[in-house]
Structure 1
Amino acid sequence: MIRSAILLAFAATSTLAAAAPAATSLSTIAERSGFQNTGRYDEVVDLCARFQKAYPKQVRCFEFGRTPEGRPMLALAVSRTGALTAEQAKKRGLPVMLVQGGIHAGEIDGKDAGFLALREALENKAAPGALDKQVLLFVPVFNVDGHERFGKWNRPNQRGPVEMGWRTTAQNYNLNRDYVKADAPEMQSMLALVNAWDPLAYIDLHVTDGAKFQPDVSIQVEPVHGGDEELKRAGAALQTAVMADLKAQGSDPKPYYISFAADDDPTSGFVDSMATPRFSTGYFPMRNRFAMLVETHSWKDYPTRVRITRNTIVSLLSQVAAHGKEWQKMTQEADARATAMAGADFPISYRTTFNAKTIEFPGYEYTRGYSEVSGGLMTHYDESKPQMWSVPLRDEVVPDLKIAAPKGGYLVPLADAARIGAKLKQHGIAFKVLASDQMAAEVETFRATKTKFGAQSFEGHQSLAVEGDWGRERRSLAKGALFVPIAQPKARLVMTMLEPRGADSLLAWGEFNNAFERKEYMEEYVAEDVARAQLEADPALREEFQKKLDSDAEFNKSQAKRLEFFARRHASWDERYNLYPVMRTAQKF
């Protein structure tokens, strides 16, 4: 339901709409200022209502969440088909494209460019006829509270607008690290929107950080490096087509993130990669959907960046109009393939090889020298002197760690069921609550042989990396435990979240740290007695201990490790220590 703020905005537009042409009443503060300024969030509330007022059969303005500071999160559903709800779009089989701006609210090009592209598309001045074949879901500002932390120099390495919002939310979450863990209320609302509408493509509009050079935008699409093999072809075609459209309009787009391989060193060149699922372009391929990361270059001025972002959105509208039905069919087929992934290999990480090619990259003349201020080596660019750089590009991305998908699925014990079940629901992942106890069930368990906790907090979490492997055991599960089947369209996302060695698994984000903390100890003087008793009773153990002393210098020097050698063999040892609580099963419950 549209809240009171939007209703008030509707009332305010009733007389203005009659007094001014639609193009004027639907223009932004940015447009009226020559793209020197951007408006506050009340402008988004106002424009959302104005667009619906001006185009009641083509636009629906609605709230899909509330921020921690109580602001409405708004979206515009736009189509000439009359399908302005998720249910109507699904019933008519229409492709949906979700375009979101302001995930980093200082990088606000997407908001102003989106409203401009939307108005021109509704007027049939841009992408004529495109809205007859799709639904555009436009979220002008994702990070609403951050948008209202408004000020000059919030982005000191960016040219314009004069004032802008802040990178993180009111709770200091970086939403562009939150797609899997979904801590932020804003992300939880976005995932609910995604679950309801199931967009074919998710477009994430940003502005870069980084050095000074001539190219003005990067266009990264997935699946290209990862995800379903058949969807990679369509992802590459989408990327190529949008880049061609931008080139025809004077841009110089690149298909990789334009950031030096070594910080502040132009000679180091560039490295392409597959984003992990904490990012939009790593997350949506795990749902068998397309994602595009648009990064305009921060050192281009605001009018230029808004124009390029607008051109990108218009190109996307045209591409989805032309190919959306075909791509929808491909994603449905990918869903079916994912449902049949049991036992198949699945890459849970990717790496960029060291195979490099030399490219000619348009930069500027620069000098490097040590600074008397920082004492560090610094680069200074002369933007009045264009220069072509010959630099390496590493863009061969390959799977790194592969695992075999479970035959049946995953089991989450009762103790963790409520917490993990809530997280699975946020992503629209199907699971079943076990209706009875399972005694001595044959399962696979993961016991870590090595653990490494993050040295400091990151996004409010202490990360954990583990080594180890799955092994067969019999374990009991209580009624109320969860069975998460692998046979579902989001199988890739299931494995992303529940495989312990995944870069953005729930384990990696610290959701199971307690299981890898030793809580019970044996006093050293007791351990000494236990060790001596074991050595006296078992000659083979004495021989094994001596070999360990002779072959492992670190072990030999460590009193704690030597005593732990015996403690692990004592009945008091905690057999659950370093045991990942989630299990795998070949059974289908």
Structure 2
Amino acid sequence: MLTTILLATLLATGAPTQGKPDLKTPYEKGNGNQTATYDEAIQWYEKLDEAYDEVKMLPYGTTDVGRPLHLVVVNTDKDFNPESVRQKDKRVLLIQNGIHPGEPEGIDATMMLVRDYLQDKKLRKQLDNVVLAIIPVYNIGGALNRNSHTRTNQNGPESYGFRGNARNLDLNRDFIKMDSRNAQTFHEIFREWDPDVFMDNHTSNGADYQHVMTLIATQHNKLNPTLAKYLSGKMVPTLYQGMKQDKFPMVPYMNHAGETPDDGIIGFMESPRYATGYTALYNTLGFVPETHMLKPFDQRVKATYKLMENMIETVHRDAKEIGELRAKAKQETLAQQKFPLDWRLDTTEVSQIPFLGYEAKYKPSDVSGLDRLYYDRKSPYSKMIKYYDEFKPTVTVEKPVAYVIPQAWHEVIDRLKTDRVQMQQLKKDTTLTLDTYYIKDYKTGQRPYEGHYLHSDVQVETKRMPRQFYKGDYVVYLNQPANRFIVEVLEPQATDSYFNWNFFDSILMQKEYFSSYVFEDLAADILKQNPALRKKLEEMKKLDPDFAKNARAQLDFVYRNSPHYEFTHMMYPVGRLTQDLKLPL
């Protein structure tokens, strides 16, 4: 009798009966303007894992807040071994949510999507050759820091997480430098599963317009040409057409060329600090969906759901082609000799794209009394606007046979290990003649950026010289899948090189100096023995009056051109081995 009453009570309250977990999401149980908390999302996926043998939730490494980073794998083969999945030639689609927890549409949309694909036979068929790998919430620390105010310009949900993680890092600037434990764990997941396609769900900031969804696809100039042709010529048009049919017409991410979209938009050149900039280094097709912040939350969730649905359908349709193209791209990367390190927008190349906007107008501000911009929703328009999406490399480097890294630079070596870079160590002390960079010039940001004072515009001079290396120093050969990653982090001129992220800053400081009154006599002797140096000094005095009046500067000039000046000052410690020598490895 008690069991009958309990069952009736459970049914009346809508609670699930035993063996049939309630897979309705917190978003669906809410009012359309609520998003799942971190704990709700993990508990929901635990239920999904229990309900379906085709689902496995795997805890990977930790995060900066101490909670594990989970990966949910959905495979109708019930195979959750990445190596085995690759052998079966199935495509892996990695979906990441909550990198910015104040932009949570992906968290809720993905929960509903994966459940629907498991429960609907027609949708389920699309998973025959597609494995879903899902990071439910990436920025866990930010997700736990819940509030209702920090997304000032956003229309819902009622409460959400914070952009910064537990260390106040923006994790979408941390992929290459790996300051956070989150990023280190992501690299473990990414390198282990080697996804064919990657989606990182976001919400946009910026102008007001009619589109609910905007999209960043991996910048095609940066992507391997084989993949770029497929991405731009087939995959992206398919996604745009599908979203148009689903009544969510898309437009590229609103990176304005001017104050408003009327001036045109510029393709997003994502360097490796960003998610898709990093994933492109391994020939993964990357996408960052950006729903429009001013649209109601339920519309943004639906648009995200529909884009992921179109993505799965496209990957399912082109599974064989994507696999073949990636395999070819990987081989081409192994053979690639020249690598671009920095890029510039080519403003001579411009196309026209359809755009659904609102008229930009101006009126007096109620705050300042000055003219302020606003978008008049009573004046919608449909027109073609300019789209600049061609970039040209400004710095290119020829890859060496190998890089040689002194073991002292352990922060760099640790990051290479995290990314599964293949390295060998010298078995004895060795003198090697190789190419060495000297840093001739660079600029440094005057304000901290993500925990660093970022360098840029690096100029180098190459010197071929003998150098002493020691037992335990690392040799990194450029004959491996990580080639592009290695070049991007170890070439100082690259936008997101480890030099630019300050991991080599101690070389920029001189350690030994001279006392002027002592060095005077020695400098005079040096000039007497080196007439060419004396001539150069006199020429500099004539060309620069300030230099001519500065005794210390003239002594410093002699000092820097003498054996007394430390040769390691401004010397980039990573050597470039350009000949395949036999090394004691």
TM-score (norm 2): 0.91
Q: Does 1:41 align with 2:35?
A: no
Task: Name 2:235's counterpart in structure 1.
Answer: 238
CA contact (8 A) 1:207 1:298 kept: yes
Between 560-569 and 504-513, report the one with greater CA deviation: 560-569
| C-alpha deviation, 1:354, in angstroms | 1.6
Q: Show CA shifts across 1:277-300 (max 9, x none).
A: 111121111112211111111111
Q: Does 1:361 align with 2:352?
A: no
Match of 1:447 among 434, 438, 446: 438
Q: Show CA shifts across 1:334-375 (max 9, x none).
A: 22222223xx21111222112245655322123235647458
Task: Name 1:459's counterpart in structure 2.
Answer: 450
Task: Name 2:271's counterpart in structure 1.
Answer: 276
Task: Name 1:292's counterpart in structure 2.
Answer: 287
Inter-partner Cα distance in structure 1 for 2:293 and 2:530: 69
Inter-partner Cα distance in structure 1 for 2:558 and 2:488: 37
| C-alpha deviation, 1:265, in angstroms | 3.9
Inter-partner Cα distance in structure 2 for 1:565 and 1:493: 39
Q: Show CA shifts across 1:109-166 (max 9, x none).
A: 1100101111111122673411111210111110011011111112111111011100
Q: Show CA shifts across 1:520-560 (max 9, x none).
A: 22233345444444444443322211222333467557665
SS of structure 2 residue aligned to 1:327: helix
| C-alpha deviation, 1:477, in angstroms | 0.9
| C-alpha deviation, 1:413, in angstroms | 1.2
Task: Name 2:515's counterpart in structure 1.
Answer: 523
* CA distance 1:120–1:559, shift in 2 (3 Å): farther
CA contact (8 A) 1:83 1:135 kept: no
Inter-partner Cα distance in structure 2 for 1:260 and 1:566: 51
Inter-partner Cα distance in structure 1 for 2:479 and 2:332: 9
SS of structure 2 residue aligned to 1:381: strand
Task: Name 1:487's counterpart in structure 2.
Answer: 479
Between 30-39 and 555-564, report the one with greater CA deviation: 555-564
Between 101-110 and 45-54, report the one with greater CA deviation: 45-54
Task: Name 2:65's counterpart in structure 1.
Answer: 69
Inter-partner Cα distance in structure 2 for 1:81 and 1:553: 78
CA contact (8 A) 1:219 1:239 kept: no
Instruction: State the AA in 2 paired with 1:520.
Output: E
Could you tell me which runs of 5 or more consecutive residues in structure 1 were left unpaired when the two chains were aligned: 1-14
Instruction: State the AA in 1 paired with 2:454.
Output: S
Matches within 5 A, 1:240-389: 240-254=237-251, 256-262=252-258, 264-341=259-336, 344-355=337-348, 356-357=350-351, 361-368=355-362, 371=365, 373=367, 378-388=372-382
* CA distance 1:534–1:193, shift in 2 (3 Å): same
SS of structure 1 residue aligned to 2:123: coil
* CA distance 1:230–1:372, shift in 2 (3 Å): same
Instruction: State the AA in 1 paired with 2:17.
Output: A
Between 446-455 and 167-176, report the one with greater CA deviation: 446-455
Q: Does 1:150 align with 2:150?
A: no
* CA distance 1:413–1:387, shift in 2 (3 Å): same
* CA distance 1:224–1:419, shift in 2 (3 Å): same
CA contact (8 A) 1:64 1:189 kept: yes
Task: Name 2:115's counterpart in structure 1.
Answer: 119
Q: Does 1:95 align with 2:86?
A: no
CA contact (8 A) 1:154 1:163 kept: no
CA contact (8 A) 2:255 2:268 kept: no
Inter-partner Cα distance in structure 2 for 1:330 and 1:551: 58
* CA distance 1:411–1:377, shift in 2 (3 Å): farther
Q: Show CA shifts across 1:88-115 (max 9, x none).
A: 3234232211101110110111100101
CA contact (8 A) 1:52 1:61 kept: yes
| C-alpha deviation, 1:235, in angstroms | 2.1
Could you tell me which runs of 5 or more consecutive residues in structure 2 were left unpaired when the two chains were aligned: 1-13
CA contact (8 A) 1:364 1:382 kept: yes
Task: Name 1:401's counterpart in structure 2.
Answer: 395
Inter-partner Cα distance in structure 2 for 1:195 and 1:535: 57
How many residues are matched?
565
Q: Show CA shifts across 1:416-436 (max 9, x none).
A: 2x3322111111111111112
| C-alpha deviation, 1:68, in angstroms | 2.6
Task: Name 2:54's counterpart in structure 1.
Answer: 58
| C-alpha deviation, 1:327, in angstroms | 1.3
Inter-partner Cα distance in structure 1 for 2:56 and 2:551: 69
The RMSD of aligned alpha carbons is 2.3
* CA distance 1:524–1:212, shift in 2 (3 Å): farther
Between 524-533 and 192-201, report the one with greater CA deviation: 524-533
SS of structure 2 residue aligned to 1:138: strand
Inter-partner Cα distance in structure 1 for 2:455 and 2:256: 28
| C-alpha deviation, 1:561, in angstroms | 4.1
Q: Does 1:182 align with 2:178?
A: yes
* CA distance 1:543–1:363, shift in 2 (3 Å): same
Matches within 5 A, 1:131-170: 131-170=127-166
